[in-house]
């Protein structure tokens, strides 16, 4: 389990296709300090199993399902990626409950300056995910825990504060880029419980 509070910006050192999947290598320092082989590390919000861990980074295999459902396959060597270690039992939950199980991808539409280092981010969301997104609810975009400011006509908007802008990869996206979305797990459980009453 993760919190959506990004700990480090890593760099994609390489991504090597392997059949319908891939193996990537991430250059980083902080998130590998206490990582053991097989540990979970979220990369742009995708929970991956860390392999070949060293002081300068780690590798991870990407399954075909993960390639289909996330934007990891869109990344090129040198891309900046958001990294987070799993939350420790007894630690603070600074964002919200993020599983690292991406529901799908949205389309980056616009990042508009609001002044004083704040930004207004607009993401077009897939129709299948729209029902799980509510104003003032939580959403993970590329693994970043954010609060939904508005949702209308299939477009979700969030405010990005200066710290989030400078400590994540959001500023590197161009319009049309895909971003990973994970909706609040509680909404999906509630939907299933109500559906079972019919």
**Per-residue pLDDT tens digits for 16-45:** 999 999 999 999 999 999 999 999 999 999
Q: Same domain for 117 and 188? A: yes
Q: Same domain for 79 and 122? A: no
Residue 91 is assigned to a structural domain of this protein: no
Active site annotation includes 28: no
Residue 186 is assigned to a structural domain of this protein: yes
Mean pLDDT of 175-187: 94
Active site annotation includes 11: no
Q: Same domain for 179 and 113? A: yes
Q: Same domain for 131 and 186? A: yes
Q: Which pLDDT belongs to residue 195?
A: 84
Q: Same domain for 150 and 189? A: yes
Q: Could you report the per-residue pLDDT of 44-63, keeping only the tens digit for each?
A: 999 999 999 999 999 999 99
Which residues sit opposite 182 in a β-bridge? 140
Q: Which pLDDT belongs to residue 72?
A: 97
Residue 2 is assigned to a structural domain of this protein: no
Structural tokens at position 75: 């990344």
Q: Is the pLDDT of residue 75 over 90?
A: yes
Q: Is the pLDDT of residue 10 over 70?
A: yes
CA dihedral 16, 19, 21, 24 (to 10 degrees): -10
End residue of a domain, out of 38, 55, 84: 84
Active site annotation includes 147: yes
* Active-site annotation holder among 22, 42, 47, 50: 47
Q: What is the largest CA-CA distance in the chain?
A: 54
Active site annotation includes 14: no
Output DSSP code: residue 169: S
Active site annotation includes 2: yes
End residue of a domain, out of 50, 84, 118: 84
Q: Same domain for 63 and 120? A: no
Residue 97 is assigned to a structural domain of this protein: no
Q: Same domain for 41 and 112? A: no
Asked if 47 contacts 67 with a C-beta cutoff of 8 angstroms, the reply is: no
84 vs 82: CA distance, rounded Å: 7
Q: Is the pLDDT of residue 15 over 90?
A: yes
* Active-site annotation holder among 13, 27, 40, 177: 40
* Active-site annotation holder among 11, 27, 49, 79: 49
Q: What is the mean pLDDT of the chain?
A: 95
Q: Is the pLDDT of residue 89 over 90?
A: no
Residue 94 is assigned to a structural domain of this protein: no
* Active-site annotation holder among 14, 112, 113, 147: 147
SS3 assignment, position 2:
strand
Residue 95 is assigned to a structural domain of this protein: no
Number of domains in the chain: 2
The percentage of residues in the chain with a pLDDT greater than 90, rounded to a whole number, is 87
End residue of a domain, out of 37, 55, 84: 84
Q: Which domain holds residue 158?
A: 104-195
* Active-site annotation holder among 13, 27, 63, 187: 63
100 vs 80: CA distance, rounded Å: 18
Residue 96 is assigned to a structural domain of this protein: no
Q: Could you report the per-residue pLDDT of 185-194, keeping only the tens digit for each?
A: 888 888 888 8
Q: Is the pLDDT of residue 80 over 70?
A: yes
Q: Same domain for 17 and 74? A: yes
Residue 18 is assigned to a structural domain of this protein: yes
97 vs 102: CA distance, rounded Å: 13
> Domain of 182: which CATH number?
2.40.30.20
* Active-site annotation holder among 11, 39, 101, 177: 101
Beta strand segments in the chain, E: 8-18, 21-27, 40-43, 46-49, 51-54, 57-62, 80-84, 104-115, 118-124, 138-141, 144-152, 155-160, 178-183
Q: Same domain for 65 and 30? A: yes
Q: Same domain for 179 and 142? A: yes
């Amino acid at each position: 389990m993760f919190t959506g509070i990004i700990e480090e910006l890593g760099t994609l050192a390489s991504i090597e296709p392997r059949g319908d999947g891939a193996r990537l290598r991430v250059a980083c320092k902080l998130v590998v300090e206490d990582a053991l082989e097989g540990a979970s590390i979220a990369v742009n919000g995708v929970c991956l199993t860390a392999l070949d861990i060293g002081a300068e980074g780690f590798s991870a295999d990407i399954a075909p399902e993960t390639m289909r459902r996330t934007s990891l396959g869109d990344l090129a060597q040198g891309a900046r990626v958001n990294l987070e270690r799993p939350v420790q039992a007894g630690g603070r939950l600074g964002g919200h409950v993020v599983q690292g199980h991406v529901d799908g991808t949205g389309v980056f539409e616009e990042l508009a300056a609001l002044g004083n280092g704040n930004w207004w981010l607009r993401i077009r969301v897939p129709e299948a995910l729209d029902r799980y997104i509510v104003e003032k609810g939580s959403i993970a975009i590329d693994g970043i825990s954010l609060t939904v400011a508005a949702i209308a006509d299939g477009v979700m908007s969030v405010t990005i504060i200066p710290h989030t802008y400078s400590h994540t990869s959001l500023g590197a996206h161009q319009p049309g880029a895909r971003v990973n979305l994970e909706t609040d797990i509680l909404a999906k459980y509630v939907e299933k419980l109500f559906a079972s009453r019919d």
